[in-house]
Amino acid sequence: MTAAQEAADLEANEERVEQAVVCALCCVRSRLIQLVCVCFPSGTCFMIYLCSPSPRPIAALIVGLVPVGVFAMVLVCLPGCVFWSQVQMDHVDAHRAHRVLKAKTQQKATATIQVACDVTDVPNTFALCIDAAKTNNAESMQWCLLKGQPPDETDHLGRTPLHWACCSGSDEAAELLIKAGAALDLHDRLEGFTPLHYAAFYGHVKLTRVMVANGANMEKECNKHMNPLQLAEMACLKTHTVQPSHPIIIKYLRTAMGDRVTPPLEHTCGLTVARLLDHH
């Protein structure tokens, strides 16, 4: 099998895994599917079981438990499937990035020998671009962009290199992506986060300011109907996600939003009243 055929097969497998994971996520989150495929049939069977005279039909109870059991199994297994697919993608991307770096080194060492990656292996620069975004490698990021890497290409969960840069605190890589025309307000497919959501949630002050200064929409909401300010406030209220920089980010976003600022999350959750009662 040639390298081109291997690359084509690998890309086809990645697309199938991506489609399966995205479909599973959509099905689990769809309230219509939950109602039609889980609640309605299970509720009907349970009603038949409860309303039937003694002896009650055990078959109705068993049939009613099947949709609930299948849905619960999907909920339990789905995080593992997402993690496994991410590990597989990262493993493949690491090998592709290694090939790109090796070819790049050989091109510099021997000017007369033209060594390049397979023409059909398009995701090579994307793999290196993602790695550069995670590690804040400005040189590799600049090289990828000069080679024509689209700044808004997404991985299997809809995350662009700018998403990864804001998640990892890679300010130099993020600035290069923004200069290259990266979209500032794209939502990922997992939580519906924009890059600004990631920067605010993980406590990256400089990246939050860079995103806002370049025109990122501070009112964009994620799947939980929270804007970046509210997400930072939520992270600040939890001991396992709070960062020392969260109060700085919250104050900055409140000032930047001006009249459009949302009420403090602790007020809407009733936490302020609870604290006042505790003090008195």
pLDDT band at 15 (very low <50, low <70, confident <90, very high): low
pLDDT value, residue 115: 43
243 falls within a domain: no
Residue 80 reports pLDDT greater than 90: no
pLDDT digits (tens, 9 = 90+) for 127-142: 999 999 999 999 999 9
Domain extent for 35? 1-88
Q: How confident is the model at residue 242 (pLDDT cuts 50, 70, 90)?
A: confident
Per residue in 159-192, pLDDT tens? 999 999 999 999 999 999 999 999 999 999 988 9
* Three-state SS annotation for the chain: CCHHHHHHHHHHHHHHHHHHHHHHHHHHHCHHHHHHHHHHHHHHHHHHHHHCCCCCCHHHHHHHHHHHHHHHHHHHHHHHHHHHHHHHHHHHHHHHHHHHHHHHHHHHHCCCCCCCCCCCCCHHHHHHHHHHHHHCCHHHHHHHHHCCCCCCCCCCCCCCHHHHHHHHCCHHHHHHHHHCCCCCCCCCCCCCCCHHHHHHHCCCHHHHHHHHHCCCCCCCCCCCCCCHHHHHHHHHHCCCCCCCCHHHHHHHHHHHHHHHCCCCHHHHCCHHHHHHHHHC
Output the average pLDDT for the chain. Answer: 79
The total number of structural domains in the chain stands at 1
Q: Is position 175 within any domain?
A: no
Q: What is the pLDDT of residue 77?
A: 75
What pLDDT band is residue 204 in, cutting at 50, 70 and 90? very high
Residue 51 within a domain: yes
Averaged pLDDT for residues 81-99: 68
pLDDT for residue 63 is more than 70:
yes
Say what the pLDDT of residue 53 is: 80
56 part of a folded domain: yes
Assess if residue 136 is contained within a domain. no
Between 227 and 53, the more confident residue is 227
